[in-house]
Chains A and B, each alone.
Chain A
């Protein structure tokens, strides 16, 4: 007979019950309603709507731009997070606070500001349009808006993880003869990679659903720069709630599959990393010294 596992803090049952009720009310209920509503259409009809030429183009634009934006932030967000954790410099707290601004700013304001900035006569657009780079009212503008909106996700996910890596680990790697590059690739990067994936996934998920900022800079031309949320709004404008639900469900499904894939990848790397190689071991390996 297995003994009941002993826990130091009581209240597991209550907390679990609360968690389930809370998540059901907040997430399962609305999403369930959405799926249920879409079930009024047949599977074939949902596919017809999702596979229409404009829908397909919009899916491509939405997921493509979101992926790019998340990837850009994975790279530059990592640098920002690293700098904010590792280097003291004047005004650091101010810069740190700046990172959160895209969270706080109403997205429409962000979109209008970016459009003004990148338009042909804007502060930035004035200089880059003569070079043949058009940002405002092109798919590139969508990427810019999404990159802006999703920056905090990567930075804020990485910061605590980077803080946890003690500088001693780097020193150990160095003292064991690892080059700087080896230290980064074999010691630091594996430790932050799972968090980087989480940040990427959060940024991606946020970008896919973004509407407010994008429509002001996208140009919204059919087949070129229309995002899926705009098509959903367009369906609602026609009082076609079912059609809108169908698009939303397909979008939700695609996002879910992609996020699941990212989570699996993250779980796999984290497992491999944690089970096989504690940091110190990795530090030893990187330097080629057997432990």
Chain B
């Protein structure tokens, strides 16, 4: 078939069937709240790829808890690319021989096309005057977070509080653990997941401070109205990365390496970056960061690599059974 004929049939099929007839189908396996980002990104990529190569690429999405998702890929779900919110989930696929060991070097910025930070959401007028991590751990303050051991969002909060405490004068791992222990004592519950924590805080009116992603704050504004809460940026917070990787074994088998690589590379294009910004995720592109400065105020951040020597190390030191989280509860 000539490219013209191909396109013509594609058009006919899409007219008759209401679905695009694709030359290639990619499967993007992703974490739970990435739905909106990729729902908007996929048509952008399809248009770009079609103009560039004349190929009609259909992108299917699969979303779920990120650990569950990578386990599905390891068990044979044929994902061409994984777009995750934790590096250790991708490391799991490296161990299974599905993803290249140097995946973080295959794309710019540690293979994370956009970032976010952890912020405090407090009640309107900030009645408990919560400005920084020390205020969250103060007596009488109620903190709402998802489970620090079982959810990515909760782990980020835990590690950020730890890093902040570590950087205080005289800070050590011991003082950090004591501080995080004090902070966790202020949690009347551990929510099942990020969205459950949001519902508990906003809808059920429980707690004085919710700690979550900056991007989630914008979702809350959409859902519950901007006037009902305030966003507080602490003096130090985590730059959370959203790493992406090619699933080598699958793209080789399906012969989709070219398209899948193109799909991930395009995330760094102006359009891809702007789409991230519009979904409240901090773009890597400095110009766009400036353009959307009102959504993304400058804030002092650290990365897990800098403070904890990598996601896998951080995970095993703190969240494995017997790690620092368990010690806080069980040692006594």
- Residues on A lying within 8 angstroms of B by beta carbon are 52-54, 112, 115-116, 119-122, 136-137, 215-216, 218-223, 225, 230, 233-240, 243
Contacts and interface: CB of A to CB of B under 8 A. Distances in A.
A191 B78 CA distance: 56
A235 B190 contact: no
A137 B199 contact: no
B330 A53 contact: yes
Contacts of A216: 192, 196
B329 A222 contact: yes
B324 to A, nearest CB: 13
A54 B326 contact: yes
Contacts of A234: 147, 149-150
Contact of B204 (A122, A236, A237): A122
Contacts of A119: 200, 204-206
Contact of B188 (A54, A215, A219, A240): A219
Contacts of A221: 187, 189-190
A176 to B, nearest CB: 58
B156 interface: no
A134 B147 CA distance: 20
Given A54-B326, A220-B147, A223-B329, A238 B319 contact: yes
A219 B319 CA distance: 19
A220 B193 CA distance: 11
Given A53-B330, A112-B199, A223-B329, A233 B205 contact: no
A121 B202 CA distance: 11
Contacts of B199: 112
Contacts of A116: 203-204
Given A233-B150, A237-B150, A243-B321, A220 B204 contact: no
Contacts of B326: 54, 222
Contact of A137 (B147, B188, B321): B188
Contacts of B315: 238
B253 to A, nearest CB: 24
A236 B71 CA distance: 9
B204 A120 contact: yes
Given A237-B67, A240-B321, A243-B321, A120 B205 contact: yes
Interface in B139-177: 147, 149-150
Interface in B283-332: 315, 319-321, 326, 329-330
B103 interface: no
Contacts of B71: 236, 239
Contacts of B150: 230, 233-234, 237
Contacts of A137: 188-189, 206
B92 interface: yes
Interface residues of B, number: 26
A230 B205 CA distance: 25
B321 A220 contact: no
Interface string B274-286: 0000000000000
A135 B196 CA distance: 17
27 contacts: A52-B321, A112-B196, A112-B199, A115-B204, A116-B204, A119-B200, A119-B204, A120-B206, A136-B204, A137-B188, A137-B189, A137-B206, A216-B196, A218-B189, A220-B191, A220-B192, A221-B187, A221-B189, A222-B326, A223-B330, A225-B189, A230-B150, A234-B150, A235-B321, A238-B319, A238-B320, A240-B320
Interface in B101-132: none
Contacts of B330: 52-54, 222-223
Contacts of A235: 321
Contacts of B206: 119-120, 137
Contact of B205 (A54, A121, A222, A225): A121
A121 B147 CA distance: 22
Contacts of A112: 196, 199
B190 A220 contact: yes
Contacts of A218: 189
B326 to A, nearest CB: 7
Contacts of A236: 67, 71
Nearest to A137: B189
Contacts of A122: 204
Nearest to B199: A112
A181 B242 CA distance: 68
A220 B146 CA distance: 9
A18 B229 CA distance: 62
A230 B146 CA distance: 13
Nearest to A236: B67
Nearest to B70: A239
Contacts of B205: 119-121
Nearest to B68: A236
B203 A220 contact: no
Contacts of B67: 236-237, 239
Contacts of A239: 67, 71, 92
A237 B188 CA distance: 23
Nearest to B193: A215
Nearest to B203: A116
A215 B192 CA distance: 6
Contacts of B192: 215-216, 220
Interface in B74-121: 92
B189 A121 contact: no
Contacts of B203: 116
A80 B192 CA distance: 33
